[in-house]
Structure 1
Amino acid sequence: MKGKFLKELEVITKISQRIQKQEELRDALQEMLIMAKDAYNIGNGIVLINEDGKLKTLAIVGYPEGVFDLTFDIKSGQGIIGFSAKKRKTIVVSDVAKNPHYILGIPDTKSEVAVPIIIKRKIIGVLNFESPEKNAFKKTDVKNAQALAAVIGFMILNFKTQKKLEKVVKRLEMLTKATTRLNNTVRLSNTLSAIVKVIKDYFEYKYFDIMLKDDKGDLVPIKTSKDFPINVIKNFKANINRGEGLTGTAAKLGEIVCVNDVAKDKRYIPAIKDIRSEIVIPIKVQGELIGVLDIEDPELNRFKRDDIKILSVLAIEIGIAIQNASLYEKTKELATTDELTGLANYRSFRDYLDREVKRAERYQKSFSLVMFDIDYFKQYNDQNGHDQGNVVLKRIGKILLYNNRSVDLPARFGGEEFVTILPETSKRGALAYAERIRKVVEKTKFKGESRQPNGRLTVSGGVAEFPKDGNTSAKIIKAVDTACYEAKDSGRNQIRGFNELH
């Protein structure tokens, strides 16, 4: 008797040692069943795992293919397998034909033994054997099956612990890489693109988007949204104060909103047909909401506890990255923009002009430079005050902004002087542009302009073309300044081209 026990113990030990070498749980269980069948000759075997109250096949040996594609409900005690899990005890059936719980699997089954796999008082699965003989499972066979179930339980626990650790390590690596990538970008557009790439690289969600809060209190999608239909992104807005949709609700509450079945949530606003789950995570900077991270997926119950944790940390990093990028953009804007008019400042103008000179030289192209000077501006300031003079400068700045192409660069040259760089534009085209601006200014009503010498506020302008009128930045500036001076000297409120003087 003692020798038999030692032999059985040796078999269990060998099985345990062999399956520990397997890297995948399914492979380990499959090998265990094969070894058990050969060692004990106890019939066909199957291991089922508990998934949300349903027992599903994970490993199987000896059965025809497709026989156990079934699931067994634990709560209702479905089948001998489900009944064993419900009662949390081993069920031995000597003749399945006489057992009311038996569900026909294969016709020649006569007896069955089902052993629940329990870890920390929780049913995590069932080990089941069937035999074509009645009374096939003796006490020794049942004990062996129970011993195997215990081994399987520890094995599943080890695998879960290992996988959990691997998952934690992987997520920590992901966060480290994500943080590094986000911190290495300073431009806002690059930052938003980097964020989308991080989520795309490390998660497999169907749709996701970053929505930023605008000045009106609406959440507006950004252009880097992943896979959202264009019409959805283009037309979507969610008002925060009214808590519109799941995105608006999360923003209003300042809390994560996770819905694993949107069909059952009245707050959900349908936008895409196949969506089943959605999670919205507020993005905050120093406690203030700046936007939300919105993720949607066609799978029910898509977002697990670990997903929510990692996405919450990522949302914090996103907030910091957006703040840093916004500060950079603001600082850069202040360094390159005239604070009063919103036009490019002198430094930015010179940088752009130098680049345009190099580009024109390289591709043998021409461009034109236009300069405007407000007529009798000192007199206007003296009569109306500097505050009103600033209003005039702002309005002329807007006129220049609204009357140029995207490739043109209007800038404040200094004081009451303005310039515009017109790439790939001939002098003739530049003269037409300058004349159009002159007429717009002339027709614009300015407070106190009736006291100006001409009865209204006007501008004079000069035009020069590169490289005809100057083949360096300094020379083209000198040429356009000369032309502008000539326009003023000839009576003001007119445009002159540099070549007209020579």
Structure 2
Amino acid sequence: MVLGPVLIGAVFVGTTVTKVGQDRVAERLDHAANAVRTSLGALCGQLLTVVDAVAAAPQDQRLALAGQFVARGLTSGIHIDQTSGEETTAAAPPPPWADCAGPGDFEMVTGFEALAARVVLPDGQTSISAAITVDDDLVRRLSGASGAEVTLLAGLGKPLPDNGEVVGMRPVAALDPLPPTHSTLDNAIAVAEVATSLADGGAGRTADGDLVRRLGPVPGEPLAVAVSLRADPPRETYLLLILVVLITALTAVVAAWWLARTATSPLVGLAAAADRVAAGDLQTRVTVRSSDEIGRLATAFNHMTRELDTYVTALTASRDQLRGHLGVLGDTLSSTHDLDRILQVILQTARHATGASGGVVLLAEPNGELVGKCAEGLRIDVSQVRVPIGQGLTGSVAATGVPRLGRIERDGPRLDAGEPECRTYMVVPFSAPGLTSLGDGGMRPALPAARGVLALYDRLGRSSDCDEFDDQDLMTLRTFAGQAAVAVDNVRVHEEAQRLSVTDSLTGLFNYRSLRETLRREADRAGRFGRKLSVLALDLDHFKEINDRYGHAAGDAVLTEFALRIKYEIRDVDVAFRQGGEEFVILLPETDDIGGIAVAERLCTAIRDTPITVLEGITVSVTVSIGVAVLPDHGQGGAALLRAADEALYAAKTAGRDTFRVAGDALCAIGNTVGGASSSPQAPRQAQGR
């Protein structure tokens, strides 16, 4: 009876702390696994963007462009397989490569040297692959993004050759020195052995109690990865606790005989209180009736339950608050591509989760400065915050890529003039590529390890002597910084995808999809305000002969140069489109037929007078035929106006090419020629080709 309440209380304390700790570790493992998946997906997206960019380049420029991407650190190597042969950039990782589009052939290999994205061109004979080396640096990046230990596994856990290698992992050579995110080799081996027995998404536990989550290989995730977290506290702590309880129990049994007569009644009450605590009532208190051992025990019991109540309440509130913040953050990331809004929500969430009084998000600019994007709880104009990279607190974190926390007067550094004043701080960088373009074809190291920083200042709710951020706060902030990095990359990829969806990759002009929408909008506006709108339909003469004689690369060079000359000859308010093949369209807002004719004359002259270099030492003379239509004279809508311009273009072709025609008018009133080509109908100069 004397020992009962003590033992029950000890068991309850151990159970409660263990359960709460396990829940927190499980949540951290889920977040870490999601972060690893997101990071691998971002890498695959980056590689696919590089491959698409190389594929869009002319054949003779692909290898040079591939070298530029490698130099910028966007990929470790690019392999081009085409009819003329295979080409690979220097220092490319050796095969095998894991294709982002599938899990790969794990029956044939024990591991991959690189993660790759591959695209096959429409001709079916050319394929381009870009790869990032699968090495310790990649593992460190994944571990840094997730905040957990990351282990690369061999294909599906197949046993490796019997040469002393570790089953289910990369060769032992890769573990000596140790894997970059593990403290011991035994720990890495234990994690690998558990992970190889799991399916994708499965979770397990090592003999030491470490939690392990298996990721891949599945379609779209070719790498097999194990994400693990150390058990906290270790098993030795529980054994020590059991030993202490046993020793205490033995001592209590010996003393109980002597204390039974004089302490029975108070201890019965204390035991009943302990039972209520074990049942979950942490508000239980016992009455202290004396200052002897029983009284001190009652006081200690009350103190224990009070501390337990405070600790469990704080843990529950912290868990619920973090879940709520992550829910808001997830909803924001999935519902908008507004970068400012996303960063604002991330900053608010990080500030509330850590108890900071204020914070700021700064993003790196190409000029080598950090520029403020959003702020919370600070009396500053965030648009005026500019910090050179490498200077001050935030600038040094951006330059080194190493998080910092501490107190200004004790740990430094000296704040830059543009940084907010603070007593304590915590600053975490966004992970990002390390090189950026100078704008003249050169490269410089702009951000060795970051494209921005997330900074929090002056933790609330504590005295001035104990108001610093701790390691737990830093881990929380790193989670939000990882989300911020993903958000920045996703928004930039989305913006680039939007741009590519309305532009022609070869000429840089707007494409046919954009033409339909812009023509409808401009026609509606011109009709609503009673303004003129001219449409020019252009077609290069005998373009097929250029392709047949010099090849499609020469044809692409002609189209690219033609687009540049169009841009040079039209106004900023005019819009040029590539309709398809060698056909182009120009919209001239608030322009009548006289203005349209003037533009057509300039374009005919600009194309005819200067031959185009298509290959080294080879130039070709190119001419263009143009049809002009004006709203409302030749049609009442965008589609009708474009048809009228096409009919006028056909008339120009019939008249001998290298000229223009106005819809519904043979241009007899003009009475002049365009560089020797009469504006009146002429016989075609060639029987074949447009």
Aligned to 1:211: 363
For the structure 1 residues 206 and 149, does the alpha-carbon distance in structure 2 shift closer, same or farther, using more than 3 Å as the test? same
Q: Distance in 1 between matches of 2:493 and 2:638?
A: 32
Q: Residue 470 of structure 1: SS of its match in structure 2?
A: coil
In 2, the alpha carbon distance for the partners of 1:159 and 1:493 equals 87
| CA distance in 1: counterparts of 2:613 and 2:472, whole angstroms | 64
Written as runs of structure 1 = structure 2, the 5 A alignment for 1:347-366 is 347-361=513-527, 366=532
Would you say 1:199 and 2:365 are equivalent positions? no
User: Which amino acid in the other structure matches residue 196 of structure 1?
Assistant: Q
2:418 to 271, 289, 300: 271
Amino acid in structure 2 at the alignment position of 1:480: A
Q: Deviations over 1:441-500 (max 9, x none)?
A: 456662169988xx8444343332233321233311111123334445556555544364
* Paired AA for residue 624 in structure 2: V
**8 Å CA contact 2:555, 2:614 repeated in 1:** no
The structure with the largest alpha-carbon Rg is: 1
**3-state DSSP class of the match of 1:343?**
coil
**Structure 1 residues 324 and 266: alpha-carbon distance in aligned structure 2, compared to 1, 3 A threshold:** closer
> Is this contact kept in 2: 1:249–1:257, CA < 8 A?
no
Say if 1:182 and 1:318, in contact at 8 Å, map to a contact too.
no
Q: Which secondary structure state, in structure 2, belongs to the residue aligned with residue 258 of structure 1? A: strand
TM-score, with structure 1 as normaliser? 0.54
Q: 1:70-149 counterparts in 2 under 5 A?
A: none
* Corresponding position: 1:411 with 2:577: yes
Cα distance in 2 between the residues matched to 1:224 and 1:355:
35
Aligned pairs for 1:477-496 (under 5 A) are: 477-490=642-655, 492-496=657-661
Query: Distance between the aligned counterparts of 1:152 and 1:457, measured in 2?
Result: 93
Superposed counterparts of 1:229-308, under 5 Å: 229-233=382-386, 238=389, 246-247=393-394, 249-251=396-398, 253-258=400-405, 260-261=407-408, 265-266=412-413, 269-272=416-419, 274=421, 279-284=426-431, 291-295=451-455, 297=457, 303-308=469-474
Q: How many residues align?
A: 349
Shift of residue 211, structure 1, vs aligned partner: 2.0
Whichever residue aligns with residue 291 of structure 1, its letter is: R
1:222 Cα deviation from its structure 2 partner: 7.8
2:363 is aligned with what amino acid?
M
Label 1:213 to 1:475 Cα distance change in 2 as closer, same or farther (>3 A): same
Q: Which amino acid aligns with 2:451?
A: G
Output one character per residue of 1:400-424: Cα deviation in whole Å (capped at 9) or x when no partner.
4566666654211111121123445
Map of 1:317 onto structure 2: 483
What SS does the aligned partner of 1:447 have?
strand
2:330 pairs with 1:179: yes
Call closer, same or farther: CA 1:307–1:361 in 2, change over 3 Å. Answer: farther
C-alpha change, 1:230 and 1:335, in structure 2 (3 Å) is closer
For 1:217-238, what per-residue CA distance to the aligned partner results, in whole angstroms no more than 9, with x for missing partners? x5764866786554545xx663
Change (3 A) 1:466 1:499: same
Q: d(CA) in 1 for partners of 2:647 and 2:365? A: 48
* Corresponding residue to 2:507 among 333, 338, 341: 341
1:169 aligns with 2:320: yes
2:552 maps to 1:386 = yes
Distance 1:161 1:231, change over 3 A: same
d(CA) in 1 for partners of 2:329 and 2:573?
35
How high is the TM-score relative to the length of structure 2?
Answer: 0.41
Structure 2: state its 5+ residue gaps.
Answer: 1-289, 435-447, 668-690
Residues of 1 paired with 2:469 and 2:580: CA distance? 57
- What is aligned with 1:467? 632
Aligned 8 A contact 2:372 2:384 in 1: no
Are residues 298 and 306 of structure 1, via their aligned partners in 2, closer, same or farther at CA, if it must alter by over 3 Å? closer
Q: Which amino acid aligns with 1:180?
A: D
Rounded to whole Å, the distance in 1 between the matches of 2:569 and 2:301 is 81
Contact kept in structure 1, 2:540 and 2:623, CA below 8 Å: yes
Percent identity among equivalent residues? 28
Partners of 1:406 and 1:149 lie apart in 2 by 81
Contact 1:277 1:297 in 2 (8 A): yes
Residue 377 of structure 1 corresponds to which residue in structure 2? 543
Evaluate the alpha carbon distance shift between residue 374 and residue 247 of structure 1 in structure 2; reply closer, same or farther with a 3 A threshold. Answer: farther
Say if 1:212 and 1:222, in contact at 8 Å, map to a contact too: no
Residue 320 to residue 223, structure 1, CA distance change in 2 (3 Å): closer
Deviations 1:91-140 (A, max 9, x none): xxxxxxxxxxxxxxxxxxxxxxxxxxxxxxxxxxxxxxxxxxxxxxxx99
| Cα shift at 1:322 | 3.9
* Residue matched to 1:78: none
Letter matched to residue 293 of structure 1: V
Deviation of the 1:174 alpha carbon: 0.8
Matched with 1:8 is none
Three-state SS of the structure 1 residue aligned to 2:644 is helix
8 A Cα contact 2:405 2:426, kept in partner: yes
Q: Deviations over 1:56-92 (max 9, x none)?
A: xxxxxxxxxxxxxxxxxxxxxxxxxxxxxxxxxxxxx
CA contact (8 A) 1:483 1:496 kept: yes
Deviation at 1:342, TM superposition (A): 2.3
Partner residue in 1 for 2:275:
none
Q: What per-residue deviation string (whole Å, max 9, x for no partner) do you get for residues 160-198 of structure 1?
A: 65345323322220111101210223x4xx244323244
Q: Distance in 1 between matches of 2:641 and 2:409?
A: 64
Is there any run of 5+ residues in structure 1 with no aligned partner, and where? 1-138
For residues 424 and 319 of structure 1, what CA distance do their matches in structure 2 show?
45
Would the alpha carbon gap of residues 357 and 168 (structure 1) be closer, same or farther in structure 2, given more than 3 Å must change?
Answer: same
Q: Which amino acid is 1:176 matched to?
A: G
Q: 1:295 to 1:367 in 2, by over 3 A?
A: farther
* Alpha-carbon spacing, 1:307–1:459, altered in 2? closer, same or farther (3 Å): farther
Give the distance between the partners of 1:399 and 1:260, measured in 2 at CA.
Answer: 60
Q: Distance in 2 between matches of 1:431 and 1:461?
A: 10
CA contact (8 A) 1:171 1:310 kept: no
The question of 1:368 aligning with 2:534 is answered yes
Distance 1:223 1:317, change over 3 A: closer
SS of the equivalent of 2:430 reads strand
For 1:316 and 1:489, the matched residues in 2 are separated by: 63
> 1-side partners of 2:420 and 2:493: how far apart?
39
